[in-house]
Amino acid sequence: MEDCEVNIKKDRWKYFFRQLLIASGAWNCYFMLGLCMGAPTVFIPQIRKEANSTEAVSEDMASWIPAILSYGGVPWILILPYLISVFGRKIPHIIVSVATLAGFTTFVFSTTVTHIIISEMLQGLVAASYLTISVVIIIEYASPKYRGMFLTLKSACFFWGILFANTIGTFFHWKKIGMVGLGCSVYNLVSVFFWPESPYWLAGKGQIDECTKAHVWLKGRDEISDKELKSLINSCRYERNTQPQNLYRRIRLTVKEMLRKQFYKPVLFSVLLTSLYLLSGKLICTVYAIDIIKKMTNSESTAYTAMLILDAVTLISMYGGCLVVKVVKRRLMLLTTSSIGVFFLFSISLYLYLVKLSIVSEYKYLSVSLLTGFSIAIGCGPMILSTSISGELLPLESRSISMCVIAFVFKISYGSFLKVAPYLFKTFGLHGTFLSFALSSSVCLILIYLYLPETKDKNLQEIADCMKGVDAMVEREEELAPVRRNTE
Domain annotation covers residue 230: no
Residue 471, in any domain of the structure:
no
Residue 469 lies in a domain: no
pLDDT at 344 over 90: yes
Residue 142 pLDDT exceeds 90: no
Greatest mean pLDDT among 239-243, 311-315, 407-411 lies in: 311-315
Residue 403 within a domain: yes
Which tens digit of pLDDT belongs to each residue from 272-296?
A: 888 888 888 888 888 888 888 888 8
191 and 265 assigned to the same domain: no
pLDDT at residue 21 is higher than 70: yes
Query: Does 220 fall in a domain?
Result: no
Residue 474 clears pLDDT 50, i.e. is over it: no
Residues 20 and 163 in one domain: yes
pLDDT single digits (tens) 240-255? 544 545 555 666 766 6
Model pLDDT for residues 434-464, shown as the tens digit of each residue: 999 999 999 999 998 888 777 765 666 666 6
Residue ending a domain, among 174, 195, 216, is 195
What percentage of the chain exceeds 90 in pLDDT?
A: 10
Is residue 317 scored above 50 in pLDDT? Answer: yes
pLDDT at 467: 64
Residue 169 shares a structural domain with residue 301: no
Specify the number of domains making up the chain.
2
**pTM score:** 0.75
Same domain, 169 and 299: no
Does 322 share its domain with 179? no
Mean per-residue pLDDT, 352-374: 85
- Residue finishing a domain among 151, 166, 195: 195
| pLDDT at position 473 | 43
pLDDT (average), residues 24-31: 89
> Based on the domain organization, do 190 and 264 belong to the same domain?
no
My answer on whether 292 and 186 are in the same domain is no
**178 and 277 fall within a common domain:** no
Structure confidence at residue 435 (pLDDT): 92
240 within some domain: no
- Asked whether residue 175 falls in the same domain as residue 270, the answer is no
- Residue 448 maps to which CATH number? 1.20.1250.20
Q: Evaluate whether residue 462 is within a structural domain.
A: no
Whether residue 302 is found in the same domain as residue 396: yes
SS3 string, the chain, reads CHHHHHHHHHHHHHHHHHHHHHHHHHHHHHHHHHHHHHHHHHHHHHHHHHHCCHHHHCHHHHHHHHHHHHHCCHHHHHHHHHHHHHHCCHHHHHHHHHHHHHHHHHHHCCCCHHHHHHHHHHCHHHHHHCCCHHHHHHHHHCCHHHHHHHHHHHHHHHHHHHHHHHHHHHHCCCCHHHHHHHHHHHHHHHHHHHCCCCHHHHHHCCCHHHHHHHHHHHHCCCHHHHHHHHHHHHHHHHHHHCCCCCHHHHHHHHHHHHCCHHHHHHHHHHHHHHHHHHHCCHHHHHHCHHHHHHHHHCCHHHHHHHHHHHHHHHHHHHHHHHHHCCCCCHHHHHHHHHHHHHHHHHHHHHHHHHHHCCCCCCCHHHHHHHHHHHHHHHHHCHHHHHHHHHHHHCCCCCHHHHHHHHHHHHHHHHHHHHHHHHHHHHHHHHHHHHHHHHHHHHHHHHHHHHHCCCCCCCCHHHHHHHHHCCCHHHHHHHHHHHHHHHHC
Q: Does residue 176 have a pLDDT over 80? A: yes
Q: What is the average pLDDT value for the chain, to the nearest integer?
A: 80
Band of the pLDDT at 345, cuts 50, 70, 90? very high
My answer on whether 289 and 413 are in the same domain is: yes
- pLDDT per residue over 60-82, tens digit each? 787 788 888 888 888 888 888 78
**Average pLDDT in the 174-202 region?**
89
Of 166, 195, 224, the last residue of a domain is 195
For residue 105, what pLDDT band results from cuts at 50, 70 and 90?
very high
Domain that holds residue 303: 259-457
Q: Are 310 and 164 contained in the same domain? A: no
